[in-house]
């Protein structure tokens, strides 16, 4: 299955801590039989509403393939980590995977091309 994980880390992390936190969750995915297909650190962004009295957060989005039982292990680690303000795991269907791939490669994601 294909999944997308978005994590919002606390904004008080240093650049090194932010990278280490990203690596920690990427490693959990890899160590449990998953494969990272794309990593997109968004950096510091404003939050729609305050979380734990913070108005900004350090975002990262990971796309990965993994067996479905990996997500429960991942959620446990995300909930235990005090630097994580919020997280969301989304299952991606084949259309979402295609859309994300096109978007990354600068192809107009809305265009409908026929495969020859």
pLDDT digits (tens, 9 = 90+) for 14-65: 999 999 999 999 999 999 999 999 999 999 999 999 999 999 999 999 999 9
Asked if the model's pLDDT at residue 114 lies above 50, the reply is no
pLDDT for the residue numbered 107 = 63
Mean of the per-residue pLDDT values for the chain? Answer: 89
- Answer positive or negative: Cα dihedral of 66, 72, 76, 81: positive
pLDDT for the residue numbered 113 = 47
All domains of the chain, ordered by start, with CATH? 2-104 (3.30.70.60)
Residues 6+ apart with CB under 8 A from 53: none
Question: pTM for this one?
Answer: 0.83
Are 21 and 81 in contact by the 8 Å Cβ rule? The answer is: yes
Report phi then psi at 7, rounded to 5: -125, 135
Could you tell me the strand order of the sheet in which 2-9 lies? 35-51, 54-65, 2-9, 84-92
Report phi then psi at 110, rounded to 5: -85, -20
Q: The tokens of 87 are what? A: 């997280």
């Amino acid at each position: 299955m294909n999944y997308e994980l978005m994590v919002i880390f606390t904004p008080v992390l240093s650049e090194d801590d932010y990278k280490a936190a990203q690596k920690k969750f990427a490693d959990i995915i890899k160590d449990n039989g998953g494969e990272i297909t794309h990593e997109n650190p968004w950096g510091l962004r404003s939050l729609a509403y305050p979380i734990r009295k913070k108005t900004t957060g350090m975002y990262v989005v990971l796309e990965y393939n993994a067996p479905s039982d990996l997500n429960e292990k991942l959620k446990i680690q995300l909930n235990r980590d005090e630097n994580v303000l919020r997280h969301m795991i989304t299952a991606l269907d084949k259309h979402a995977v295609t859309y994300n791939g096109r978007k990354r490669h600068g192809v107009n994601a809305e265009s409908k091309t026929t495969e020859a």
